[in-house]
Structure 1
Amino acid sequence: MAARRTPEEKPVEHGSRRRERMRAVLVEAATRLFAAQGVDATTIDEIVDLAGVAKGTFYNYFTDRADIAVAVASAIRREFNEGVAELNEGIADPAERVSRGVRLFLYLVVRDPVRARLLSRIYEGGVDIAKSGNQHLLGDLREGVELGRIQVPSLEVALHLVVALGTAGMRHLLDKGAGPEILRGEGYAHEVATVLLQGLGLRRADIVRILARPFDASHLTLSNRGERL
């Protein structure tokens, strides 16, 4: 039987939830402003005005603009990683999982352009093999190497290839525009995935087979969230 909470514990839990909600409000406001005008062009005054809180409240949670920018980037990367994991449920081939993850990042340019633009602008540490945000991707790459599905000089080089193609692809679509074919993993998304799988050492026949499978991310929690932004 679970232990009953004492009266003293309840106010602490309530206060913690309130702090989490307020922090989330500030992060969401900063997300929108950073995406629209960049980090350097955004002031703390603008963040608190959009969040509807006093300026002093900001400093209860963050030390400065750089501090909240890190929080925003971490939150977005975490959400996107969760989306990739959800998309790849039941996919056994690690190389296919990696290609689907990159196509999802491009998909989100259409479905969640606010977060896609921000992630492409303040993607810090994306090529650092030690960063915690890269662990899921590294797991897929490592498994692919162990199974002989992925053949690369090193995991670090493979990570750099995936991150470079993913972020450059997002920026290209954000600048030039993305059509509905991206939502199906087709067009430019198909081309990026082809180059990616070639770079990871897959045979042409395997690449064709992987990319011939339907790509549908419309059921994801992350993509549905983007509709409400």
Structure 2
Amino acid sequence: MSALPKNPRSQRTYRALVVAGLELLAERPIDALAVDEIVSRARVAKGSFFNHFHDKAAFGRAIGGEIRTELEERIGRANATVSDPVARLAGGMRTGLIFALEEPRKTKIMLLNMSQSTLRDQPLNQGVAADMSAAFATGRLRKEARESGIRYWLGLCQVLMINAIERRVDATEAAKRLEDMIILALTGLGLSGDDAASYAASQSQLLLEEHQP
């Protein structure tokens, strides 16, 4: 993600480009957009685009990263009082699904444009990496989770979010799918079926309480 410029004028130009990108990427993928179209929508000079972004791919990654940052901030707030690392992982999946239900356009843009979205050393994955490591340290996860748990977990979260957008599920159906996915995800990591079901039921109920269509 490109850093926000310090100069106020540059900040305004950057934000105008990002807003234009959010609008245009909701309609077409980055490869189908021309830089001229982006700057026209943003009402800035063409040279301004290249002052902030190396190319269209970098532009798409920056926007995807901004949306992911917004999502991570939501997850941080949702898990602020939660200490159990397994519950924090499950809470992150719940929050991601709610985000997809409430912000389908942003979710689609994020999933199409995020760079290195499942890598351990991706800065925006540090929260889930820390929770996965803490969960592994409890001795409740299978040994494969040490190396592959992050990719596995994030992959399932992304599939759940994509499915919610494609199927346009309501809150009741979303809660059921979340419950099923958490059970599958946690048992896959090594938790017992009973433990996984308990976490899943709790997160499903929280989704119904938190998501207001």
TM exceeding 0.5: yes
Aligned partners of 1:158 and 1:200 also within 8 Å: yes
Which of 174, 190, 194 aligns to 2:183? It is 194
Alpha-carbon distance in structure 1 between the residues aligned to 2:26 and 2:91? 25
Q: Which moved more, 1:118-127 or 1:88-97?
A: 118-127
Cα gap change, 1:44/1:190 in structure 2, threshold over 3 Å: closer, same or farther? same
| CA shift for structure 1 position 86 | 0.8
2:117 to 95, 112, 126: 126
One-letter amino acid of the structure 1 residue matched with residue 162 of structure 2: R
Structure 2 residues not aligned, in runs of 5+: none
Structure with a larger share of its residues in helix: 2
Query: Kindly tell me: are residues 161 and 15 of structure 1, through their superposed partners in 2, closer, same or farther at Cα, counting changes over 3 Å?
Result: closer
Asked whether the 8 Å contact 1:198–1:204 carries over to 2, the reply is yes
Structure-2 separation of matches of 1:176 and 1:69: 25
Work out the percentage of aligned pairs sharing the same amino acid: 25
| Cα distance in 2 for residues equivalent to 1:15 and 1:119 | 25
- Which residue of 68, 71, 75 corresponds with 2:59? 68
Distance of 2:180 and 2:200 partners within structure 1? 10
Unaligned runs of 5+ in 1: 1-13
Determine which of 58, 68, 75 is the counterpart of 1:84.
75
- Selected match of 1:56 from 47, 52, 70: 47
Cα–Cα, structure 1 residues 218 and 212, in superposed 2: closer, same or farther, change >3 Å? closer
Instruction: Compute the TM-score of the two structures, normalised by the length of structure 1.
Output: 0.81
Q: Are 1:17 and 2:17 matched, yes or no?
A: no
Amino acid paired to 2:114:
Y
The 1-side partners of 2:73 and 2:140 are apart by 24
Preserved CA contact (<8 Å) 1:152 1:158: no
In the alignment, structure 1 residue 107 sits paired with structure 2 residue 83: no
Distance 1:102 1:175 in 2: 17
Rg comparison, structure with higher value? 1
Q: Which has the higher contact order (CA 8 A, sep 6+)?
A: 1
Q: What TM-score do the two structures reach when normalised by structure 2?
A: 0.86
Query: What is the aligned length?
Result: 207
Question: Which shows bigger deviation, 95-104 or 51-60?
Answer: 51-60
Q: Identify if the C-alpha distance between structure 1 residues 144 and 193 changes in structure 2 by more than 3 Å, giving closer, same or farther.
A: same
Alignment of 1:41 with 2:32, yes or no, is yes
Structure 1 residue 15, shift from structure 2 partner: 6.7
